[in-house]
Chains A and B, each alone.
Chain A
Amino acid sequence: MFIHEFKYELIRVLRQKDELFWVLLFPIILGTMFYVAFGNLNNATENFHTIPAAVCVEAAAKDKSFEAVLDILSDETDTPLLELTYTDWDDAVELLKENSVRGIFKIGESVTLHCVSNENANAVTLALEQSILETILQEYLTYADLITEIAQTSPDKLPEAISKMESSVSYKKELSLTPGNMDSIIQYYFNLIAMACLFTSFAGAYIAMHHQANLSPLGARKCISPNSKFCSVAAQLLSCLLTQFVCVAVTILYLYFVLKIDFGTSFPMILFTSFIGCILGVSFGFFIGSIGRISETAKNGIMISASLLCCFLSGLMLGNMRMIIESFCPLINDLNPAVLISDSFLTLNIYGVTERYGANLFALLLFSAIFTVFGCLMIRRKTYASL
């Protein structure tokens, strides 16, 4: 009988187009949208590109040293800091107006930097580019000031000071604490998989609702059958878990192999984590489905609202939402299943299999056990005088 129930649950899921859409098709579509929309986002906003600048050298210019500094900064072989256009003032203004350059260095009796306003909310990248140009000028003016001062106070120290100024070594040592993917966009995909896992709750709820005689005709038929309810529920839950996991796995396969999303960890670990996520999703649905005489539509409404709210708080719609919540009420994050699932992926990506990863999985399994036990308690040993 177990095999029979298991088989028919498999067939049912394949015929339930609505469930398949939300668990299989919707995450794939949303993942594709993320890929299309975010594909160029970091490149356009965060990733460093050579900064275009115009240089206007006036006839009155005496000091050629700033030009030399600019030439050094634009001559570096690997992604130079600046891309310079030497031109006259009118053309430079025209280039600035068209946003072809981010600033104009005007070299006359003194050196000045001319930029457009960057107070527009959209101008974050422009503001960073202009700030770098400002730092270059500030650096030059500071050195020029200090060299002049040294020339006046201790001329004998001047050659050593100039040699210090001309050296172009990097003082920093860059530490790499992780081989993982530090691209913040990846968290949207982690949350997307968490959403797909939570959407498996629809299938779990279906099982609970169709074992209750007062909620569905199928439940009524099952109630009068001599079949063990425990055996039937267990077989269907296992079958449902398997099919839902396959759907989520297809989404992950699509993200990993077709869209080539770098999860920063091994593929089997991603699958294993999402399997635990599916256990939680199915058991959550089973629990909601078992609650009293609420209609199927209302229960679906509760599940979709709860899943989307959890995913919103985890950062599916707003990237750093999780950190905002962490700063004022970390308990919400500790109890939010979407955060636990996405944080497991994040932990795998950055730190590998650690205590934190284990704690997340333990919490997910604990919640699943609680939901399943309460769900079973609510649907067991029910008899009906009339329906």
Chain B
Amino acid sequence: MQVFKAFIISARKFFPVNLMYFVIFCVIAFAASSSSTDSEQSSFRTVSLEIGFMDQDGTSASRALCDYLKTLHTLTPLAYDEEALLDGLFYRTIDYILILPDGFEARLLSGTDENLYETVQIPGVYSSAFIDEQIDSFLKAAKLCLAGGLSPKDAFSRTSSALAESANQVQIMEFDDDSQTDSAMTAIFYFYQFLAYVIISIILTGLTPILSIFQEENLAKRTSCSSMSLFQRNLQLAFGSIFYCLAAWLLFIITSGIFYGEAIFSEKGLLCIVNSFLLLPLGVSISLIIACFAPSGNIITMINNIVTLGMSFLCGIFIPQQMLGESVLAFSKYLPLYWYVKNNDLISGFGSEPFTWPAYWKHLGILMFYGIAIFTVALVVSKYKSSRKRA
């Protein structure tokens, strides 16, 4: 087992880099779990946004409107500092800026409709349309009350109470299709989604340099003239690779078990684990191809970045597949991680496709097919390289 021993000694050298990947991944996974909601499965929330407001009028009408909006959103009083306003909007720390100008109440009472209030908003987005609709409904209701003969004070108070009485009208529909997911499972799906990026990265940065060492010309020549047969050498290298990949994969599975407890052993959790297992042959095959060219550490880092970041962006690991353009998806169908993410979406119900066993096995089969196909290419490249060396 001389080659296997040398493999393990080399693997130790890359332990710090892999540890760094592991720690970064755990931080991301933990952040994803904490950002998922703890609420009950069947509930409805009316969206609450950040509104910055400037009440330059300071009358009962402007206060009534602000009080009404405070019941729905978070209102922050702002000074008229153009840079602070625009920075807030640009970074989306504020969704909407409402300015109630001097004379707001007077214009409302006089029946003026145009330019009653001023806004600074991001044009053409949902949040702006939503808050516009709510402010307009308050003002229209107030005008109705005033037209009905109520005094301004009563009109504003009646408007607020009428709007409060007709709030919370949504009735929740429940479907027994398993497409709704609770927060613990949501965190698991995020974990397994990012796992594809990390596992492939760890295999490429950790396994490729080790395999490259054995491809190095002098070492390869020394090994080939030793008493060890080529089959024995390759077998030990294969054992080493399997050991390395399985160890990395198991470490992540155990971590997910520590993070999410029993949920990981639910049916969906186990399906995710099986799906992630098929990343290993894929990673090993890509690693083998790269190692055939015996690149230096820097080149491996470059290739790793291009391959993993490229596939992660295109296949929907960093950005959900539903949010990618159609042309991007049409292209990414030719990449293996697309099918991994599709299966993860299928299990989680994040995608548009409902879960069915044939679809799950089909995606798993395609992923396995990619692993075998790339492995075959790696063998061909290896054979070609060695025959060229002999020539």
Contact = CB atoms under 8 A, between A and B. Distances in A.
A30 to B, nearest CB: 7
B147 A119 contact: no
Interface in B27-51: 35-37, 39-47
Given A26-B305, A46-B125, A161-B147, A112 B171 contact: yes
B116 A130 contact: no
Given A36-B328, A146-B148, A171-B117, A350 B90 contact: yes
Contacts of A119: 37, 39-45
Nearest to A176: B120
B273 interface: no
A350 B82 CA distance: 11
Contacts of B140: 139, 143, 164-165
A340 B145 CA distance: 53
Given A39-B325, A132-B129, A169 B113 contact: yes
Given A121-B37, A322-B91, A142 B141 contact: yes
A142 B163 contact: yes
Interface of A: 18, 21, 25-26, 29-30, 33-34, 36-41, 44-48, 81, 93, 96-97, 99, 103-104, 112-122, 124-125, 127-132, 134-139, 141-143, 145-147, 149-150, 153-154, 157, 160-161, 163-165, 167, 169-178, 182, 184, 187, 319-320, 322-323, 346, 350-351, 356
A195 B143 CA distance: 54
Given A112-B171, A131-B46, 11 more contacts: A37-B318, A44-B323, A117-B180, A137-B169, A143-B141, A164-B144, A165-B140, A170-B136, A171-B114, A172-B117, A323-B91
B323 A45 contact: yes
A44 B166 CA distance: 31
B215 interface: no
Contacts, number: 257
B173 A171 contact: no
Nearest to B143: A164
Contacts of A173: 114-115, 117-119
Nearest to A34: B313
Contact of A135 (B93, B120, B137, B319): B137
Interface string B161-202: 011011101111111010011010010000000000000000
B127 interface: yes
Contacts of B319: 37-38, 41
Contact of A171 (B35, B135, B144, B323): B135
B126 A169 contact: no
Contact of B92 (A39, A132, A320, A356): A320
B169 A138 contact: yes
Contacts of A157: 147-149
Given A48-B124, A112-B169, A164-B143, A132 B130 contact: yes
B110 interface: no
Interface string B63-93: 0000000000000000000110111011111
A48 B313 contact: no
B129 A134 contact: no
Interface string B298-311: 10001001100110
Given A38-B319, A135-B130, A319-B91, A172 B170 contact: no
Contact of A142 (B129, B137, B147, B186): B137
Interface string B89-127: 111110000010000000000000111111111111111
22 contacts: A33-B309, A37-B328, A39-B325, A48-B128, A93-B173, A119-B42, A121-B37, A124-B47, A129-B126, A132-B130, A135-B133, A150-B144, A150-B147, A154-B149, A165-B144, A169-B113, A171-B114, A172-B118, A172-B132, A182-B123, A320-B93, A346-B90
A121 B349 CA distance: 12
